Amino acid sequence: MCKKTKPKRPNPGVQNILVISKRHLSVETADAFRASYDFGINCFISGGCFVLLIDEESCDSAQYWPDDLRMVVDFAIDQGCSWLALTPSGEEFTNLVQYS
């Protein structure tokens, strides 16, 4: 399940974004986003990047998410972020699973 903790923000008007590599999503999950599959999370696709809004409403649908999506969202929440951008040139984290 998605962590229900709210990201810690010094100012309510400031929201942090974690930019990580798309390699942390499986091909199947990335293809589902491209096909406009609704995982119950707000996803914006632009220039080959996936930008996700992480909020309590999104986390309510986490039981339907694939494991790779849940893993990166939970990691973003742990980092205090309420946005997650998965990009081709994003940071690769060794503590997260990477797909080819």
Residue 6: per-residue pLDDT = 56
Residues with Cβ < 8 Å from 64, sequence gap 6 or more? 39, 40
Residues with Cβ < 8 Å from 84, sequence gap 6 or more? 17, 18, 20, 51, 52, 54, 72, 73, 76
Task: Give 2 or 97, the one with higher predicted confidence.
Answer: 97
Residue 14: per-residue pLDDT = 78
Query: Which residue type does 56 have?
Result: E
Residue 33: per-residue pLDDT = 85
What's the whole-model pTM score?
0.84
For the stretch 9-65, pLDDT in tens is: 556 677 889 999 999 999 999 888 888 777 888 888 888 888 988 888 888 888 889
